[in-house]
Chain A
């Protein structure tokens, strides 16, 4: 009888373990594994899942068996057997979970040091990731340039315009993402890469990954960053392309940046900055460049309205023209609030030249002065 019961426990245990292994081997709960790191994380997860399923079955099985087998029968007013414990059993069920979490810790540690290895790699691509309310922007390194007219000073200036609102990455090359924030905490997250790293203001952090699938996915913001947090997860994409396509992309971006650096305050530069660098579209509508945010007032026809304010002489600060109205609205958003919109929602730090350079501000003002009512 005693042996029989032991045999039953063994059989049930074996069945639970078989189910656990089956689930661990077959479960596909993640999105596509688009980075080399993703495969390692997924294997670890499925290993843990197999153990978790066995533990889950033992516990739920124990509960269900108990409530059926040990339910009070009608008319039975007696108590259960006065068993206070079983030291051997209690030591066993302390020791086995301890061993399990020990194994899981070692396995997790191994995966962790593999996927988060800060050592420089031979052919790594370095990209900058900057979080801001409420979008990401990405900066790229410049290619070599043999043009003798390009001085180091000019190179420095060009670098400022090597940016985009989409993260282009070459296939199969290790990426070092250098992550910053210019306002609150954001979290750089690409589910398909299984990579997440906070962008903390005042700190520079890094993330490492190697894209192994071509495709395009959302770059998500995983840390609450304010009113536009939800929008920030559906605004920027990562696009993985072949190496030669990436080279072409960088060459084009560089040519454009060089052009911008020679005339940094032109309306055309402002037009690009609004989209690529300052993410005005997270909050504002501007049909000219397809911005469709719903948090702040519309920018359509802004020049006409600014001229109206200037003509009526409505106590503008730092000038009396339409440009002063637009400039003031950017660097000090609470100054000329549009009726129906709250103070303190728009970033308050565009007056800081480290956040928005004088050139960029003038370029944006010059561009917005061209946006008139039809």
Chain B
């Protein structure tokens, strides 16, 4: 019998160019970009829905929408898509691309699992969008029972909504396990936990939250599917269920989800501010620890979403924990200003978006304290004040940081710089449009305008017009960004290894990095934020070949310079 030759891995041709992003790949860089591109597509979808919402709200009477149901679908899908198919996977994409590079590794701990986690996302997105074919979900992104139950939402879109979130949740849990294992076990020699870039810290804290909270979403969705498909009544009061059970389970996940969306954005911010202000991060340990503190507190504040439905006494502990969360958040804000203070600030697009985050997120944080106070929240709950608050957190925070991150790391991912002129136009339009859209909503809420309505009392009209104008400016703002990306991909200025002269390891290799990231095992700088120190300057001058221990400040370890061992082992 003739023996057959087994095909080896090398015998299978690897797709090149764009092709490699369209197929199964276990390269974390490919997966990172797959996440980023897919979630950006959903940003455009969610944004389109937001524009339709704002156009409908231009006048107090119904104009665009045929009925309340169509409008309810708009904001249900807008919220769900922006949270679950844009912000969460976008930040997972940054994490996938950057964490192994920042740790000087070839890949994540479990590359195959990583690919599996990503490939659950496109089907989840398609299932979500398929809702429109069968009668889309219209019970809000919170999908409170009994409105989302089989009696009041007979359309199959609500079932598809739950299935889609189930897939995204599972994907998110797989990703979190991978990050935790990678960060705890795969740091290079010479990098303790306290020498990791703060972005890695933020992904670490986020992954812990995901691992603790997301199973509750999965449990809740499973019960929802049973109620909808199998005739059970976990949440239906008519047959002995309890609608508040859904609220508790849902918010036990969905409040921490806010931090899943904000902590990595804060990690991006810490890195970008330090690099572009040429100054060490101020209070590194406070920032790192505050991520963990926010993660912990974030899991015990969910009841503040239920200040008008929980029993009176049960609201009080949630007020206290919610108030407390302002403290670690404040620590971060002040530390970032401390980072700017005394720096040599470069107004790159990445920096402008990060400064935009700083100046806008603070408002979202402050209004969060108002909403933590039960008597004030009773008036403001489910009004436009809340809409303003969480958009200052999630757009003023997460989205601005995401854009900052794209301008900062695009050169590493593609080998080409983005155009700074277009970047600044993009920033200016986004910043102005954002503020104009969401700032007036505070006053609408204080006046008592409820959320989720498509016709409203004419006394609210003037501020709604302002808000819609702002939304249209934001829509225009996307154009220079898309043009910038398209043009820069083919004709952008070559980036070189380290265009920002940054100290963290992802810059100590070519742009884009080779398939296994580093030609030789890299040596981390003893302080990833050692700007202005002789050690940092020497490290940069050597192109990442020699790392000296830092003098003082308690970040460095060891007395001897760490040099790369002779290669060839």
Interfacial residues, chain A to chain B (CB-CB below 8 A): 29-31, 40-41, 44-45, 48, 52, 55-56, 59-60, 62-63, 66-67, 70-72, 76, 78-86, 89-90, 93-94, 97-98, 101-102, 104-105, 108-109, 111-112, 115-116, 118, 183-185, 187, 189, 191-192, 194-198, 200-203, 205, 218, 220-231, 233-234, 294-295, 342-345, 348-349
Interfacial residues, chain B to chain A (CB-CB below 8 A): 62, 67-69, 71-72, 138-140, 144-147, 151-152, 154-155, 237-238, 241-244, 277-286, 308-309, 312, 315-316, 319-320, 323-324, 326-327, 330-331, 333-335, 337-338, 340-347, 355, 358-359, 362-363, 366, 369-370, 372-376, 378-379, 381-383, 443, 446-448, 450-457, 529-533, 536-537, 553, 555
Q: Are B355 and A101 in contact (CB under 8 A)?
A: no
Q: Are B244 and A66 in contact (CB under 8 A)?
A: no
- Which residues of B lie under 8 Å from residue A108 when comparing CB positions? 319, 372-376
- Which residues of B lie under 8 Å from residue A205 when comparing CB positions? 309
Q: Which of A76, A81, A220, A227 contacts B67 (CB 8 A)?
A: A227
- Which residues of A lie under 8 Å from residue B537 when comparing CB positions? 79
- Which residues of A lie under 8 Å from residue B447 when comparing CB positions? 29-31, 191
Q: Are B338 and A85 in contact (CB under 8 A)?
A: yes
Q: Are A52 and B152 in contact (CB under 8 A)?
A: no
Q: Which of A71, A101, A194 contacts B369 (CB 8 A)?
A: A101
Q: Are A93 and B330 in contact (CB under 8 A)?
A: yes
- Provided the pairs A63-B358, A85-B338 are in contact, do residues A30 and B446 lie with their beta carbons within 8 angstroms? yes
Q: Are A80 and B277 in contact (CB under 8 A)?
A: yes
Minimum C-beta distance from B165 to chain A (A): 18
Minimum C-beta distance from B452 to chain A (A): 5
Q: Are A89 and B338 in contact (CB under 8 A)?
A: yes
- Provided the pairs A70-B342, A200-B243 are in contact, do residues A104 and B323 lie with their beta carbons within 8 angstroms? yes
- Which residues of A lie under 8 Å from residue B285 when comparing CB positions? 85
- Provided the pairs A112-B375, A343-B154 are in contact, do residues A90 and B333 lie with their beta carbons within 8 angstroms? no
Q: Are B72 and A80 in contact (CB under 8 A)?
A: no
Closest to B331 in A: A94
Q: Which of B140, B286, B366 contacts A85 (CB 8 A)?
A: B286
- Provided the pairs A78-B344, A97-B326, A108-B375 are in contact, do residues A201 and B67 lie with their beta carbons within 8 angstroms? no
- Which residues of A lie under 8 Å from residue B375 when comparing CB positions? 40-41, 44, 108, 111-112, 115, 194
12 contacts between A and B (CB under 8 A): A48-B376, A72-B344, A84-B529, A97-B326, A101-B327, A105-B373, A108-B374, A118-B312, A185-B146, A200-B237, A202-B242, A222-B450
| Minimum-distance CB pairs A-B, first 5 | A191-B448, A202-B237, A80-B279, A230-B453, A82-B532
- Which residues of B lie under 8 Å from residue A116 when comparing CB positions? 312
- Provided the pairs A67-B345, A82-B530, A224-B144 are in contact, do residues A183 and B152 lie with their beta carbons within 8 angstroms? yes
Measured CA separation A139–B454 after assembly (Å): 29
- Which residues of B lie under 8 Å from residue A191 when comparing CB positions? 379, 447-448
Measured CA separation A214–B434 after assembly (Å): 40
Q: Are A66 and B379 in contact (CB under 8 A)?
A: no
Minimum C-beta distance from A317 to chain B (A): 20
Measured CA separation A194–B378 after assembly (Å): 7
Q: Are A184 and B147 in contact (CB under 8 A)?
A: yes
Minimum C-beta distance from B45 to chain A (A): 22
Q: Are A71 and B345 in contact (CB under 8 A)?
A: yes
Q: Are B67 and A189 in contact (CB under 8 A)?
A: no
Query: Which of the listed residues A56, A85, A203, A295 has the most CB atoms from chain B within 10 Å of its own CB?
Result: A85
Measured CA separation A226–B72 after assembly (Å): 8
Q: A85-B286, A202-B237 are in contact. List 6 more A-B contacts (CB 8 A).
A: A31-B447, A79-B344, A101-B323, A101-B326, A194-B378, A220-B450
Measured CA separation A93–B308 after assembly (Å): 33
Q: Are A41 and B379 in contact (CB under 8 A)?
A: yes
- Provided the pairs A48-B373, A187-B308, A295-B68 are in contact, do residues A56 and B362 lie with their beta carbons within 8 angstroms? yes
Minimum C-beta distance from B53 to chain A (A): 13
- Which residues of A lie under 8 Å from residue B320 when comparing CB positions? 105
Q: Are B344 and A76 in contact (CB under 8 A)?
A: yes
